[in-house]
Structure 1
Amino acid sequence: MPFESAEDLRSPVYNAACQDNLAQLKEQFPVTHARLPNGKNIPLLKTMQTSVCERDCNYCCFRSGRDTPRASLSPDELADAVVKLSKSGDAKGIFLSSGIIGGGIGTQDRIIATAEILRNKYHYQDYIHLKIMPGAERDQIFRAMQLADRVSINLEGPDEGSLSKLAPHKVFFKELLEPLKLIEEIRKNYPPHLAWKSTWPSSCTQFVVGAVGERDIDLLQTSFNLRQSFSISRAYYSRFTPVINTPFENLPALNPWREHRLYQAFYLFRDYKFDLEELQFDQNGNLQLDKDPKMAWAEQNLIEHPVEINKANYDQLLKIPGVGPVTAKQIIQARLHGKIRDCSTLGKFGISVSRAARFVLLDGHHPAYQPGLF
């Protein structure tokens, strides 16, 4: 269950006459389940301050001029709804984005006001993820970071050329990349006691994938650079799905496997010590759809040079298909008590032996492995 995958946000609906009716409130504010960075699952309210928008992004259902129902919430209305859903146990966090109306600065003010009411008036302790609007000012970004557990700003495309096709009136460097840089500078230069729970929030971004011919290698290169330079915790890859009455309505929807492979590749350099150069791309600069990128790398590199389970260090163990950070640590711990000599021991750690067996040695020997036994 990916955390906050692809912003499937719905237009806010709020009827003040129904604010004391919990059943009607739940209908107005649909809640999804999401996984926090610490692994905990929570019911998360994903909504917008307003679905009115003056920008005309070519892929978006809320683009200006499109005939679709619109709604807006005042900070007090939204905070009131969040608190009621929290007290009932129906939502234990909020992801708050917005359409842009009256410019990014005014929109950001309303998002911040909602968070301030939650934290200061209602002493709201649950998770808050705030979207940073294009054009938001430095002081607004700082204030949002004081209130939130996570902040994000969507790059949409991996570079200026892709963005110009997706969102003609967004400015790649000034409106989107500079705020991500500023978020990292604040984390580095200001003491964490100024922030919520004395910890500066994590940051992330999102890309629209499959609409304008961007390549996986470009998406992952930008993601890798953002992680290295600005310490983003996540990149989200939102597969393009055409929306009627938009300029992109006749484009094909993206194969969901491409989105999946991009996530797998991002995790490889975030959690598995891979370098971007180690990933296998086709002649068009894209990942293989029919094979996960870790397996593709192993088949190129480990068949003739298998990893000795009893000698490999942590980073080497992570390169083995079926082995993750937890199981790599379990292997190292188990080796303190003796050599690992058979696949059944690996299976007890929760390792996918069917994925790992071809690429390892156990005490100098290829493991005796029969598919289907583990």
Structure 2
Amino acid sequence: METIDKLAILADAAKYDASCASSGTTSRSSLGGRGVGSAEGSGICHAYAPDGRCISLLKILLTNFCIYECSYCINRNSSNVRRARFTTKEVVDLTLDFYKRNYIEGLFLSSGVIQSADYTMAQLVEVARSLRVDHDFRGYIHLKTIPDADGELLADAGKYADRLSINVELPTQTALHDLAPEKDHRTIKLSMARIRSRQEEQAEARRAARRITNARPKAAPVERFAPAGQSTQMIIGAEPSTDADILSTTADLYSSYRLKRVYFSAFSPIPDASAKLPARRTSLIREHRLYQSDWLIRFYGYRHDEITAGADDASAAGMLDLEVDPKLAWALRNRAYFPVNLNRDDRERLLRVPGLGVKSVNRILAMRRWQKVRLEDLVALKASVKKAMPFVICANHHPGLGDVSSARLRSRFAPPAAAQQSFDF
């Protein structure tokens, strides 16, 4: 098979991996004879480096052959899909060729499992090693690791890759056992723990090296281990786990293994699917609400259990409100917490106000050292004034506690039914 044919298959197969933040675009192609380039298909995605830069990555699988039989995976062993496999040299050459043409700034490499977890992981590591050592490649490398692989292979991967990721796959062990019996959360979390332990060892080694710089001013710097950290991905909607289950697992992963990101992937039906799987794809609104909730946990100080607490309908217990964002939903359920005084209250309370982001809150705190905060200042900060007004007091705005009911506020900010349905397909 020609390399270009392999690239078409294995780049398309990689699109199901959400652990690399991609930008959306409309489908455009020059195949009709007009224009230059194409935005169709897959292959190049956009991710964000630790310093905030947006970088383009070649996103491919080493192979879509796989010995595992995960019910939700298009590349499972029994799936009737077109298969292909790169050699390590082909991946290295492709990466360098794309890089020299200024198409990409790095590589995102994943793979199906062939022969064994150790064999597959060794192939992935060899690609990264060859790029770094043989070709002095300085671009970004993200490796999707195999959790069953030997710990030394994971350690080698961290020497060459900027970021490592291990998919937790599903939110609970019960769900994983039902849909992917060859995989185990304990093994996945053990690999995550190994990566975290190695990162901490390297961090301590760097601190020790800095302490002895006076004795050895020209000592070689300690190499960093996976400096961009580790991430994971969770499929949602393939089984009955609630949003509370998903957020509980997410919070545990952040606290226990110091993950940089947990990515959520809405389940999409696949050909010849198991009867255990739903026939309809998971709403993209649900995926979006989970990302918003993840943001609240990481940056706004919310506990995972309070985000989904308080549903009035028993059938919706443990599920996020799809009509309004989770921050506004919490505020509507906790009206006694408001109004928040923008000129007096602390940062923690300000972060609970709908419509105010972290940057806006930081600027408000800086501003009120010199002046009283007014509604006009929120407009200047590009905060969502309409959403914040019912929940705040400031110099020229004093809403009454009972001026607007929660039901009226909810109807004001909930999208029309047609807009809601456009996300649910």
Return the match for 2:385 from 338, 353, 356.
353
- Identity among equivalent positions (%) equals 31
| 1:51/1:62 contact within 8 Å kept | yes
SS at the partner of 2:305?
A: helix
Query: What does the per-residue CA deviation read over 1:277-296, in whole Å, with 9 as the maximum and x for residues that have no partner?
Result: 32134333111111111001
CA–CA distance in structure 2, aligned partners of residues 41 and 296 of structure 1: 31
Give structure 1 stretches of 5+ with no counterpart: 10-22
Q: Report the equivalent of 1:344.
A: 376
Shift of 1:205: 1.0
Q: Which amino acid is 2:190 matched to?
A: E
Distance 1:250 1:367, change over 3 A: closer
- 1:331 equivalenced with 2:331 (yes/no): no
Give structure 2 stretches of 5+ with no counterpart: 1-13, 20-35, 207-220, 401-411, 413-425
CA–CA distance in structure 2, aligned partners of residues 289 and 27 of structure 1: 30
Q: Report the equivalent of 1:179.
A: 191
CA–CA distance in structure 2, aligned partners of residues 107 and 98 of structure 1: 8
Q: Which amino acid is 1:231 matched to?
A: R
Q: Report the equivalent of 2:301.
A: 273
CA–CA distance in structure 2, aligned partners of residues 60 and 263 of structure 1: 22
CA–CA distance in structure 2, aligned partners of residues 158 and 250 of structure 1: 16
Q: Report the equivalent of 1:215.
A: 242
Shift of 1:194: 4.3
Return the match for 1:288 from 321, 342, 350.
321
Q: Which amino acid is 2:350 matched to?
A: L
Shift of 1:73: 1.1
CA–CA distance in structure 2, aligned partners of residues 332 and 173 of structure 1: 44
| 1:261/1:287 contact within 8 Å kept | yes
CA–CA distance in structure 2, aligned partners of residues 6 and 244 of structure 1: 14
Distance 1:6 1:353, change over 3 A: farther
**Rg bigger for which structure?**
2
- Paired residues in the alignment total 350
| 1:29/1:45 contact within 8 Å kept | no
- 1:7 equivalenced with 2:17 (yes/no): yes
CA–CA distance in structure 1, aligned partners of residues 54 and 263 of structure 2: 18
Farther-moved stretch of structure 1 (344-353 vs 240-249): 240-249
Shift of 1:275: 1.3
Q: Which amino acid is 1:321 matched to?
A: P
Shift of 1:298: 1.2
Q: Report the equivalent of 1:259.
A: 287
CA–CA distance in structure 2, aligned partners of residues 194 and 133 of structure 1: 26
Distance 1:48 1:93, change over 3 A: same
Q: Report the equivalent of 2:201.
A: 189
Q: Which amino acid is 2:279 matched to?
A: L
Indicate the RMSD between aligned Cα atoms, in angstroms: 2.6
Shift of 1:40: 2.2
CA–CA distance in structure 2, aligned partners of residues 159 and 347 of structure 1: 43
SS at the partner of 1:262?
A: helix
Q: Report the equivalent of 2:231.
A: 204
| 1:146/1:200 contact within 8 Å kept | no
| 2:58/2:104 contact within 8 Å kept | yes
Q: Which amino acid is 2:194 matched to?
A: L
Using the size of structure 1 for normalisation, the TM-score is 0.87
- 1:241 equivalenced with 2:268 (yes/no): yes
Shift of 1:119: 1.1
Shift of 1:195: 3.6
Q: Which amino acid is 1:226 matched to?
A: L
Return the match for 1:69 from 78, 82, 95.
82
CA–CA distance in structure 2, aligned partners of residues 301 and 151 of structure 1: 39
